[in-house]
Amino acid sequence: MSSPVFARVLDAIERGAFPRTRKWAWRILYNMLSRRWRDDEWRFMNFGFVPEGAPFPLRAEDEPERAFIGLYEQAVAGLPIAGARVLEVGSGRGGGARYIARYHGPASIVGLDYSPETVMRARRLNAETPGLSFEVGDAERMPFADGAFDVVVNIESSHCYADVPAFAREVARVLAPGGWFTFADMRGQASAFTLDQELAAPGLDLVSEQNLSKGVVTALNVVEARKRIRLGNLRLMRRFVTEFSGARGSMLYKGLGDGSVIYVARRYRKAD
């Protein structure tokens, strides 16, 4: 049975209710997860994405994370990452930033996250990766200079923000002229159409958009057994975290399947 608490959280997100309270609650949840799950195998906190067609190349040691990495590969494929200054906003435990650093050759990549516990975990898990660092900070008030980055990545994080338009304005501010902003997140069908307004920061031009929902559901199916093992070790808030993680039978899993929840990917470019 779906968690009544989680249902109320989703309803509040859809209505835009209590944004500051929701932002504070998400921070507490991510801090709790970082304290509870300390294993080195858990570098990713996204739903994942399995594209149609031929699989992209991965080293053997990264194959177990293919479903999660797929969301990052679709985000950066074809972008000028080599030699670029990259920022990931909402970097979680750092698996995505680590993948970009190891496979796409940026000059540097910074992961920014609102949860101090999660940043500490990311630093420990990814300490061996050259050119990769992590900082605590607010997506709506980033601690970086104007034009500090060439590419900004934001994966499955914006639904936690109190003020998405403020985040978009910050993206535009920290991007250098000609820089790229690659975004992916889920929205209820009713609120998906507001992304045009939420991300319409001056200077950011929409270049492409796609619906990833089918490939996200495929990824959720791929990682289901592994996820259930981890959930079985969780006593506190097990039902809520089951919903939050998109496990099979959850509200989010069903919504992505029937179209009431849409997983959207977008790319923007800052004017020269």
> Active-site residue numbers?
156
Region of residue 269 (left: phi > 0; alpha: psi -120 to 50; beta: else): beta
User: In Å, how far from its chain's centre is CA 256?
Assistant: 16
Write the DSSP symbol of residue 159.
G
Q: How far is CA 110 from CA 33, 68, 102, 147, 150, in A?
A: 22, 19, 13, 14, 12
For the chain, the maximum distance between any two Cα atoms, rounded to a whole number of angstroms, is 52
Q: Name the nearest CA neighbour of 265 among 47, 74, 14.
A: 74
CA dist., res. 86 & res. 101, Å (int): 9
CA distances from 231 to 92, 153, 198, 236, 241 (A): 18, 28, 34, 10, 8
For residue 123, with 0-12 CB atoms within 10 Å meaning exposed, 13-18 middle and 19 or more buried, which class applies?
Answer: middle
Nearest to 74 by CA among 52, 45, 91, 90: 52
Q: Residue 195 corresponds to which tokens in the numbers above?
A: 């992304």
* CA 185 – CA 187 distance, rounded (Å): 7
* Distance from C-alpha of 147 to C-alpha of 272, rounded to nearest angstrom: 11
